[in-house]
């Protein structure tokens, strides 16, 4: 256990980001920023850096829990991490990703699970994957006062149906379907739409056609905003990054280096030194030394 004391947080936070802020940014053509986070320290740093939205993505399954894909992560696991993020974030919008099978079997299930993210974990919105087929669910969620972020294109929860992680929207028929999905989500009232793994030209067309802000990931520069997985930009995924990822830091090297230095210092008795040790107060010291001397004499 660490007994490091955590200071209270003072100082003015930036204004709260809401669904209105995100929609107004689209109207003003100001780029919208979103990153994933799954725990208190990372969410706090992301929020303090001024990012608009923190997504507790189901990518948690892969980048934090070590699963092969996103399918196994459960509602309870997502709730646990959303709560930690909620405790950290003051200004950014906190969005919880609905995991696989938490809304696929029925709209009732979807609303019940989404309400848990709002009520038990403090999420301000939920994200669901899929277009036209999610319209009934989205209406039900909005009736339950839950803002929804849509997600179309390369939707990782459809991994098996898609036959792997492949760029979507390459044929004219696929582009037409994507347009139908995007406009259906827009009409159903989602506050934003993630466009993942689609050609830049298609994302640009969707962005112009819909009033909801589009948030791209591997969808080119013409979206209203961009989202990336935090562990991707920090080199913390142990995998070859996808083409669209830009690494802004090397946390793997930072951690490896710090851990190796700790190991070496312990093994060479360089840690802890006097400066990193607690000492007895004066009033106890001489009595304690007497006891220690007596003990040594008895040995
Ligand atoms: O789970 C996730 O991290 C996501 C985003 C990257 C859009 O869905």
CA–CA distance, 110 with 102 (Å, rounded to integer): 6
Question: Is the pTM above the cut of 0.85?
Answer: yes
Residue with tokens 């608009």, as numbered in its chain: 52
pLDDT of residue 292: 85
How many angstroms does the Cα of residue 283 sit away from the middle of ligand 1?
58
Q: Pocket residues for ligand 1 (CB within 6 Å)?
A: 36, 55, 57-59, 97, 194, 196, 217, 227, 229
Q: What is the pLDDT confidence band of residue 7, given thresholds at 50, 70 and 90? A: low
Q: What is the pLDDT confidence band of residue 11, given thresholds at 50, 70 and 90? A: low
The pair of three-digit structure tokens given for residue 31, joined into one six-digit string: 């780029």
Pocket test for ligand 1, best of 117, 127, 242 (most atoms within 8 A of CB): 127
Q: Across-strand partners of 127?
A: 97, 149
pLDDT of residue 234: 98
- The sign of the torsion formed by the CA atoms of 79, 85, 86, 91 equals negative
CA–CA distance, 200 with 119 (Å, rounded to integer): 37
Q: How many whole angstroms from its chain centre is CA 238?
A: 18
Tell me how crowded residue 154 is: count the other CB atoms within 10 A of its CB.
24
DSSP character at residue 133: G
Q: pLDDT of 176-202, one tens digit each?
A: 999 999 999 999 999 999 999 999 999
């Amino acid at each position: 256990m660490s007994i490091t004391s955590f200071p209270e947080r003072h100082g003015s936070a930036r204004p709260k980001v809401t669904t209105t802020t995100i929609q107004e940014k689209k109207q003003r053509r100001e780029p919208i920023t979103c990153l994933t986070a799954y725990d208190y320290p990372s969410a706090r740093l992301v929020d303090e850096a001024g990012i608009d939205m923190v997504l507790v993505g189901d990518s948690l399954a892969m980048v934090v829990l070590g699963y092969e894909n996103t399918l196994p992560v459960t509602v309870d696991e997502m709730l646990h991490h959303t709560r930690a993020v909620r405790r950290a974030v003051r200004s950014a919008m906190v969005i919880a990703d609905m995991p696989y099978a938490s809304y696929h079997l029925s709209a009732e299930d979807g609303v019940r699970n989404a309400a848990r993210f709002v009520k038990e974990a403090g999420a301000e919105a939920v994200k669901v994957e899929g277009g036209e087929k999610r319209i009934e669910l989205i209406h039900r969620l909005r009736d339950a006062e839950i803002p929804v972020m849509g997600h179309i294109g390369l939707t990782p929860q459809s991994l098996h149906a898609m036959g792997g992680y492949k760029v979507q929207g390459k044929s004219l028929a696929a582009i037409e379907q994507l347009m139908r999905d995007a406009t259906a989500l827009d009409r159903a009232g989602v506050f934003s739409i993630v466009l993942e793994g689609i050609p830049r030209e298609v994302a640009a067309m969707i962005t112009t056609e819909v009033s909801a802000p589009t948030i791209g990931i591997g969808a080119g520069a013409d979206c209203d905003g961009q989202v990336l997985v935090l562990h991707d930009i920090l080199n913390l995924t142990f995998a070859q990054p996808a083409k669209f990822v830009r690494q802004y830091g090397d946390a793997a090297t930072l951690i490896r280096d710090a851990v190796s230095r700790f190991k070496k210092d312990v093994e060479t008795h360089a840690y802890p030194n006097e400066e990193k040790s607690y000492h007895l107060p004066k009033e106890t010291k001489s009595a304690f030394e007497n006891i220690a001397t007596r003990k040594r004499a008895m040995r």
